[in-house]
Chain A
């Protein structure tokens, strides 16, 4: 369908375009921006006044629980949630059940995604068999099946010798490798950040140095075998320092931070609030400040929602039993705009962190609104505030600590290859 988006504020980080303009869409691609050809006949005109249009967002880690057991959010429910949040490109975490260490799982995910026709789905293959960190996965087979990257999901490889071999083997495929870097023995069974608050609540703490040691080790191994890596959801100042040191050494790497660690602190755990149980754990305000500073200084490539939708029957569990994870892909943009409101980054930078940044880290084509590019768009009401009601979110996961938050940036239209897949 030929569509004309009239009068939206277009922000396109890839080309630096940042102005109110018209956008013509035809044949699933951007036909023209600004000067619309006189003979362009739109079948539908979308009124963009008061709206911002940017490339469809990229979520680099969405746990779809497909394959899975059906009690939690699945690919169908969570892709609906993603497009409701303007997320067009979705990389799936390999920690499904069974995990994505076989071609069958990758095929299944791609086939389901194709049948759904919502967001564009990019499976990531397990870096190690069963994500157990004990044996290499069949990476060539996974790549052939369509994996765009190798990942360990939320699990660290505790055996350094095996990680060395896995990274060396992965380097042959020129696919990104996403690592959850943490010293598993130091992290032990901690369920929240280790500090005064965990001591007060009597909960097992997860020391910040588990991340620091994990990041330092993983970076050293990656350098040794000359494999570029992406470090997932960093949460501590010490880890950021290690990343900067590696960059100064000339090491190729990218890194992301979850929006939760940029907005929340360990205090949000309150009195055993399982909705704030996430991996890595929410940290003290000082660490959050360091993450924000690193973001402002351009040291972070990606903001992720680390979307993890758990079924409501998990809510009856105690804090220690409850699984890690927050479901917030629908709110990725509004939550990121909170960072804009708080002066951490400007709007164009924020959009870059949700589009070009993750695309580069995942090795995907650069999302753009330049003529000729696929018409993947996120069109949102940047100035319209709303109050978060988890029950009204599309995602089946209601495990998020943002109930009653007042945010702005509700998505109005999401287009994938020119198709309107979501309209508010």
Chain B
């Protein structure tokens, strides 16, 4: 059932020496690589609690946040992560409409390369954009995928497994349920790969057939179209954001009906294991995919995810920068 996990990633993320030089997707990563990132993030979590939150790790390096799509959480945590590592940070928000009239993605990247930057953090509305940039720059700069279309969002998945491990220990004994629009979710895809690689024995995806098609089982997950059945005994429940476009595309009749069938509430969560952890990548639609009382309740770790996201992004930047060439002090 897990066969699809072994398509391989053609080595785009790994250099010729086998070291991780870009982070583009969870697919193709080894468990020890993920664990190394998580362990490194643990040490950065501690730094975040100090009065002086900066380390000199990336001093003299320049990181570009190249965002072709809106983002608050991801962009600000990447910016803060780079700043806390003493890197210089350039934030570029490109509206894709203006890009379509002007220069191509690779031309934009080439202009920034000409400024000798060390890393690109890229968010783009289209799948494969970060891979394309990584293939283009090779080993010259690090590339981190901060979300590409509906394909992958690896640092989100890393912060999710970090959070799960933080509260529940290793994945090996956990049942994890992902609820919502899995088909269109880059977060869910990356979560599924991260959890599988870390040995999670049972990953469930729950949602209506229009958002959770049978093909998903090729990713090695169990597909449920009934929330109560899917939540039964789950140790961790990951909610996904429901985009309003899904309504316009007729994948759902109404948000109310979606909430009635698949909205997470304290009552529905009773089917899950006692004290089950509730995650959400944000931003949340209160009263749609998750009820306020649950989002703000004791089982929710939604804000802890944000804190962890900062530590995880510091860890990823540190490890990838370590694989970059150039003289070190």
Contacts and interface: CB of A to CB of B under 8 A. Distances in A.
Interface stretch (A96-104, A138-146, A197-205, A238-246): A197-205
A272 interface: yes
Nearest to A194: B215
Contacts of A195: 215, 218
A196 interface: yes
A321 interface: yes
A202 B4 contact: no
Contact of A316 (B105, B151, B152, B219): B105
A319 B129 CA distance: 8
A225 to B, nearest CB: 33
Nearest to A188: B249
A351 to B, nearest CB: 36
A386 B126 CA distance: 36
B128 interface: yes
B129 A200 contact: no
Contacts of B27: 200
Nearest to A204: B150
Contacts of B150: 202-203
Given A320-B149, A321-B126, A202 B189 contact: yes
Contact of B128 (A198, A199, A201): A201
A115 interface: no
A contact residues, range:
10 to 19
Given A318-B132, A320-B149, A201 B219 contact: no
B107 A319 contact: no
Interface residues of B, number: 31
A404 interface: no
Contact of B104 (A200, A270, A317): A317
A304 to B, nearest CB: 28
Contacts of A320: 126-128, 149
A409 B15 CA distance: 37
A318 B126 contact: yes
B7 interface: yes
A272 B126 CA distance: 11
B106 A316 contact: yes
A316 B129 CA distance: 10
Contacts of A270: 10
B216 interface: yes
The residue in B9, B105, B128, B213 that gathers the most chain A C-beta atoms within 10 A of its C-beta is B128
A354 B104 CA distance: 38
Contact of B152 (A198, A202, A313, A321): A202
Interface in A306-320: 313, 316-320
Contacts of B127: 201-203, 272, 318-320
B62 interface: no
A195 B219 CA distance: 11
Nearest first, the 4 closest Cβ-Cβ pairs linking A and B are A272-B128, A202-B151, A196-B218, A202-B150
Interface of B: 4, 7, 9-10, 12, 27, 104-107, 124, 126-129, 131-132, 148-152, 183-184, 186, 189, 213, 215-216, 218-219
29 contacts: A195-B215, A196-B218, A199-B215, A199-B218, A200-B4, A200-B27, A200-B189, A201-B128, A201-B151, A202-B184, A202-B186, A203-B127, A271-B9, A271-B10, A271-B12, A271-B131, A272-B127, A272-B128, A272-B131, A272-B132, A316-B104, A316-B106, A316-B107, A317-B104, A317-B105, A318-B105, A318-B126, A318-B127, A320-B128
Interface of A: 194-196, 198-203, 270-272, 313, 316-321
